[in-house]
Amino acid sequence: MQADTRGRHWISAELKRLELEARFLEEELDLITKTEKVSASCEEFLSKVENKPDPLLPVTSGPVNPNWDRWFEGPQDLKGCRCWIL
């Protein structure tokens, strides 16, 4: 009689675990279904944003000024540089 009770308990616990796993998979499937809609919305948003210039950046017309790049380069002569960061 004792073994029968443990067998029922084991079957009940296994059934509960399978129900939880099935519920988890259903929630995951719902999430994936909703993600496709979000992905399409993101693609549409990106296509609209990429086609418009950034309002915070100035629009340059004409040739690029090569002297501007010197501000972003390191010093040409490191021996004469007294900057402690470099």
Each domain of the chain, given as residue ranges in start order, spans 2-54
Whole-number pLDDT of residue 68: 73
Q: What is the spatial distance between Cα 81 and Cα 83, in angstroms, rounded to a whole number?
A: 6
| Pairwise pLDDT comparison (1 vs 59), residue with the higher score | 59
pTM equals 0.39
Whole-number pLDDT of residue 63: 65
Query: What are the CA-CA distances from residue 5 to residues 13, 15, 16, 18 (Å)?
Result: 12, 15, 16, 20
Q: What is the spatial distance between Cα 18 and Cα 34, in angstroms, rounded to a whole number?
A: 25
Residue 13 has pLDDT above 70, yes or no: yes
Which pLDDT tens digit goes with each residue over 35-63?
Answer: 777 778 888 888 888 888 877 877 777 66
Residue 78 has pLDDT above 70, yes or no: no
